Amino acid sequence: MKNGILKFGDDFVVSKKFTVNDLKKLEKKYSVVQLTANGNYKSYKITPIKFLGKNIIAILNFEGDAIRRVNIYLISKDASWSTETEIFEKRKKSAQDAWLSSLLNAPPPYSFDWGRIESNYDQRSCSSTITVTFEDA
């Protein structure tokens, strides 16, 4: 992750050079669903997949053909409509903070020459996510 490479599978590797066309080549093997197409902006959901030993949902966001952001949602085996509460999500956020810290061997913020990694909790949607943002050099 520190190097800006997200390996979701042997043939599914996302880096700053990943494009919409690269994703389309993977549609038959992975569950890829287009979520939005708004002018030059598109987003795609891939679920469920493994990432570094965790079950996740990934949302890939593109501007034109270029990857700009990947949102990673950790899937909890304990999640259900009755357990998805603010307390549950804040615990999940704490767990993802600890996981990122151990993966990256450092406390936040996580800024690199290729972009940044953030752990977020969104109070409006009551969800926590890891966001990987690829920035222009």
The DSSP code sequence of 90-124 is HHHHHHHHHHHHHHHTSPSPEE-SSEEEEEEEETT
Please count the structural domains in the chain.
1
The residue segments making up the domain with residue 109 are: 6-134
Domain membership flag for residue 113? yes
pLDDT of residue 120: 94
Domain membership flag for residue 84? yes
Domain membership flag for residue 26? yes
pLDDT of residue 136: 80
pLDDT of residue 4: 94
pTM for the full predicted model = 0.90
Domain membership flag for residue 1? no
Domain membership flag for residue 37? yes
Domain membership flag for residue 109? yes
Per-block mean pLDDT, blocks of 10 residues, the chain (137 long): 91 95 92 95 92 92 96 78 74 92 91 95 89 88
pLDDT of residue 97: 94
